[in-house]
A = this chain, B = another copy of it.
Amino acid sequence: MIKVGIAGATGYTGLELVRLLLGHPAVEIAALTSETYQGQKIAEVFPSLAGHLDGELVPLESMAAWDVEILFLALPHNTSMAKMPGLLTGKTRVIDLSADFRLRAAELYPRWYQVEHPHPEILTDAVYGLPEIYRDKIRTARLVANPGCYPTSVLLAVLPLLKSGWSDADTLIADCKSGVTGAGRKLTLGTHYPECNEGVAAYNVGRHRHTPEIEQEISAALGREVRVTFSPHLMPMSRGMLATVYMNLTEGKTAEDLTDHYREFYKREPFVRVLDAGKSASTKNVAYSNHCDIGLTVDRGRVIITSAIDNLVKGASGQAVHNMNLMLGIEETLALGSPGMFP
């Protein structure tokens, strides 16, 4: 069994890593960290794990002794940034679920994350962990920067079309809807049950931190700088993310044309499902799974793309496990074979 460690195991993405890895036939969870709950058993923090995992939570500092092949970092943004060279020791390879190594341009960090990046030299080595685009680089990466949930849903929705040259990227608008787990386990008034239940609102419109990440990958795909409009919304539900993306088409393509193109583009992808032309994606169909469902509609010269994922799985921990499988050279769907859980 391959040994892996999870730093930050008591957040939602950490817990989701635990859940998925418990079903993995080739790896073993060798260590779990938590600063807040250190000394406790993880099943005391999450009773759902009782009888499944008996591990004690240790501080991240004890990590050197673990000797793990893969270390998952499920820590808050700006936490592991400074520690990174030290974590990449020995044979250990790192999959970082935070944003700390997602942006290749270090100068973006002060603006979007209010921090000067301490290790810009590592940024250029880090591989952006979107397997559908960077599969080969991920296989050999030392450090994978696991994509954000919003970027995952938006990029999978638009990259095939952008690469086709049939659309105008400058008209791209991404209206995204997220379940509340996307905001993490930290207590805030906005995620207090009575404050977000039975309501919907946009937040951080035009200034959400995932904007530069989306723009970085779209710009990379097109070979020029592109700016997009990205509006996140908080939904009254625990899990699930829907991106509704709008773009002007530059040629008279139909929804059928686009659907054919997407199916060809993703034909070898185990987790992307392209719906029949004119159908819309629903988060219910991908819940708790690593799938991304994509639906394409054309309305008067404009394409409307819906893209649904589970924000904690394909949008975070499932994609991280996918990356791990690629890095380890094992079957890439291991531990990720579950269909969406409906209802």
Contacts and interface: CB of A to CB of B under 8 A. Distances in A.
Given A194-B12, A194-B185, A339-B19, A285 B48 contact: yes
Interface stretch (A63-71, A120-128, A135-143, A232-240): A232-240
- Assembly stoichiometry (copies): 4
13 contacts: A22-B338, A47-B282, A48-B285, A48-B340, A175-B231, A177-B200, A180-B194, A185-B189, A187-B189, A197-B237, A199-B282, A200-B242, A201-B280
B205 A193 contact: no
B197 A238 contact: yes
A244 B46 CA distance: 22
Interface of A: 12, 15, 19, 22-23, 46-53, 171, 173, 175, 177, 179-181, 185, 187-189, 191-203, 205-206, 227, 229, 231, 233, 235-240, 242, 244, 246, 273, 275, 280-289, 291, 293, 295, 297-300, 302, 304, 306, 308, 337-343
Contacts of A295: 202
A233 B200 CA distance: 12
B48 A342 contact: yes
Given A198-B240, A339-B52, A188 B187 contact: yes
B193 A192 contact: yes
Contacts of A52: 339
